[in-house]
Structure 1
Amino acid sequence: MKKLEENLSYNIGVLAHLLRNHHNQVLMSFDLSFSQAKVLYFLHEFGEQSQSSLQKRLYIQPSSMNGLVESMVKKNLIEKKESQLDRRTKLISLTEKGIETEGRLREVREEVETDLVRDFEPAERELLLSWLKKMTLRMQQRNGQNEKELK
């Protein structure tokens, strides 16, 4: 029987926990939560999108998404407006402050990632990323989630 420390899931979990703690410390200086930072990222990467699309990308419930959006609107990081095609659909986009904040967060993410894999060869980094993506896809399949739902 393997020791816990030799278990792949355990080690991924520990790394995720350590990264989350680090990110939370950084995000506190921006007065942001981890979920708010992900909203900024997704809007920067994919542009304006519906609130329901963002909710699916974040894997959260509609009620949680409503609170998240409202808090970010109050901080002037995002704008929310009705779709011209369907008034029930709310479209979310970045404000200038949101764009600036996401840019600063991106710099921090890149610095942490560079440090995290500094002892890896480029081919090792690519292989590790490939493996992590495969494992993520496997878990999404096990949980009945479909990547197409996120688009």
Structure 2
Amino acid sequence: MKLTYQFLLRTLSHQMKQAADRKLDEFGVTAEQGHTLSYIYRFEDKQLSQNDLERVFQRRGSSISNSVRNLEQRGLLIRKTNASDERKKILLLTDEGRHLVESFDTVFEDVEGDLVKGFSKAEKAMLEEFLERMTANLK
């Protein structure tokens, strides 16, 4: 029986998450938490809100809210009221959160390197093009 693209991509996604979880275990965060912290770290100057994370990660509000609450309880980020819009809460990393991201930031690069190990530059470019086209096809 031939496997579908959906099955193969879902399996790959699951394996990527498991690989990142294993590597991040020593830092006490999951892949999802690591991606969230890394994104806030990279774009902290953009004054990100939970709504921004919902759009970027394409997750439901409750999922992002739980993740943010957990990271806040662990002292890795804070929610600060936006001075120009008091209804909006800006997400900022604490010093501990910033230090943690700087400690594990190469983990995702390592997983991506493992993912395309043995691929030529041309194959990587083709893969990227195919994945972008597949994503665009579903929009």
TM-score (norm 1): 0.78
Q: Percent identity?
A: 26
Partner of 1:115: 114
Please identify runs of 4+ aligned residues in structure 1 that moved more than 3 A. Answer: none
Partner of 1:28: 25
Q: Distance in 2 between matches of 1:96 and 1:33?
A: 19
Amino acid at match of 1:54: L
* Alpha-carbon shift at residue 128 of structure 1 (Å): 0.6
Q: Does the 8 Å CA contact 1:4/1:10 hold for their aligned counterparts?
A: no
Amino acid at match of 1:17: H
Q: Does the 8 Å CA contact 1:117/1:125 hold for their aligned counterparts?
A: yes
Of the two structures, which has the highest relative contact order with CA contacts closer than 8 Å and spacing of 6 or more?
2
Q: Distance in 2 between matches of 1:122 and 1:100?
A: 33
Runs of 5+ consecutive residues of structure 1 not aligned to the other structure: 142-151
Q: Does the 8 Å CA contact 1:35/1:58 hold for their aligned counterparts?
A: no
Amino acid at match of 1:4: K
CA spacing shift, 1:61–1:117, aligned 2, 3 Å: closer
Coordinate RMSD, CA, aligned: 1.9
Q: Distance in 1 between matches of 2:103 and 2:128?
A: 24
Q: Does the 8 Å CA contact 1:38/1:58 hold for their aligned counterparts?
A: no
Partner of 1:86: 85
* Alpha-carbon shift at residue 106 of structure 1 (Å): 2.3
Partner of 1:49: 48
Q: Distance in 1 between matches of 2:12 and 2:123?
A: 17
Give the secondary structure class of the aligned counterpart of 2:118: coil
* Alpha-carbon shift at residue 77 of structure 1 (Å): 1.4
* Alpha-carbon shift at residue 36 of structure 1 (Å): 1.5
Q: Show CA shifts across 1:26-85 (max 9, x none).
A: 233322233312211221222231221112222223233222212111222112100111
Amino acid at match of 1:18: Q
Runs of 5+ consecutive residues of structure 2 not aligned to the other structure: none
User: What is the total number of aligned residue pairs between the two structures?
Assistant: 137
